[in-house]
Amino acid sequence: MGCGPSKGRRQYLGNEDPVFLASQTTFSVSEVEALFELFKTISSSVIDDGLINKEEFVLALFKNRTKENLFASRIFDLFDVKHRGVIDFGDFVRSLHIFHPNTPLEDKIGFSFKLYDLDNTGFIERKGVKQMLLALLGESEMKLADEAIEMILDKTFLEADINQDGKIDMTEWQHFVSKNPSLLKIMTLPYLRDITTAFPSFVFNSEVDEDAA
Amino acid sequence: QPVAMNAFELISMSKGLNLENLFGT
């Protein structure tokens, strides 16, 4: 480890130091440190407490404080692994790890399943999917009649819900995304490959000798 | 045409699911 603690840094990192987080994820130590620069910006945008609350998360996504969004809220809840209403740096790194281009597909499929399992029942249910479609329409210019929405749901569940019990289980979801791989596109952020280039200032704040990691 | 897409293709279009925005891009 490097020399003395820099101001404010320990407060953010707690016990989750970059070497430990890198060992648990696809990220290198430098990449974890670069993510810390991003984390600092987001977590101090409303309250500078070293944690990201939902308002800060939505603000970072939309650059707009007032927007209420089902999907952003859902992603936030999944990032908030400890269910404390806030995301700490460890949660942030471990969650973004799922979105790394090198992370196994299985992990991405698992995360996307949880994302769409709105009521946490262990299934993707038709009523939840309808709720998400309505939320999408609410945030876009797109207009669809209820009959058209029901048609889309019929078609989707006919294909995805193999045993036709009205809900999609994990095995059915795996099968469905393997036939529709574009659905996993949102689960990969190519940007994460270049995170050290995006946040070069991590070098000045680094406390870790990369060779020692 | 939205009706030609499956529900999840449509849902994927939500800005709230586009985490690229977190990076300020």
CA B22, CA A63: separation in Å to the nearest integer?
9
Identify whether residues A107 and A183 lie together within a single domain: yes
Q: What is the mean pLDDT of chain B?
A: 87
C-beta atoms of A159 and B21 within 8 A: no
Interface test with A, best of B1, B8, B9, B13 (most A CBs within 10 A): B8
Q: Which two tokens stand for residue A35?
A: 């993510």
Identify whether residues A80 and A148 lie together within a single domain: no
Identify whether residues A117 and A183 lie together within a single domain: yes
Q: What is the pLDDT of residues A26-74, one digit of tens each?
A: 999 999 999 999 999 999 999 999 999 999 999 999 887 766 889 999 9
**A73, A99, A125 - which closes a domain:** A99
pLDDT class of A212 with cuts at 50, 70, 90: very low
**A48, A67, A99 - which closes a domain:** A99
| Residues A45 and A59 sit within 8 Å (Cβ to Cβ) | yes
Identify whether residues A90 and A144 lie together within a single domain: no
**A84, A99, A114 - which closes a domain:** A99
Question: Which 1-25 residues of chain B touch chain A by CB within 8 A?
Answer: 2-3, 5-23, 25
B10: nearest CB among A60, A69, A136: A136
Residue A178 lies in a domain: yes
Identify whether residues A77 and A125 lie together within a single domain: no
Q: What is the pLDDT of residues A69-96, one digit of tens each?
A: 899 999 999 999 999 999 999 999 999 9
Can you give the CATH number for the domain in which A32 is found?
A: 1.10.238.10
Q: What is the DSSP secondary structure assignment for residue A125, as one 8-state letter? A: E
C-alpha distance from A183 to closest chain B C-alpha (Å): 6
Looking at the 3D structure of chain A, how many domains does it have?
A: 2
Residue A8 lies in a domain: no
- Among candidate residues A38, A48, A23, A47, the one with its CA nearest the CA of residue A92: A38
Identify whether residues A111 and A182 lie together within a single domain: yes
pLDDT class of A202 with cuts at 50, 70, 90: confident
| Domain that residue A114 falls in | 103-187
Query: What is the residue whose two structure tokens read 């059915």?
Result: A172
Tell me, what's the ipTM?
0.91
Question: Which 10-49 residues of chain A touch chain B by CB within 8 A?
Answer: 38, 42
Identify whether residues A164 and A92 lie together within a single domain: no
Across the A:B interface, residue pairs with CB atoms under 8 Å apart total 93
Whether A116 shows a pLDDT value over 80: the answer reads yes
Query: What is the residue whose two structure tokens read 């600092």?
Result: A40
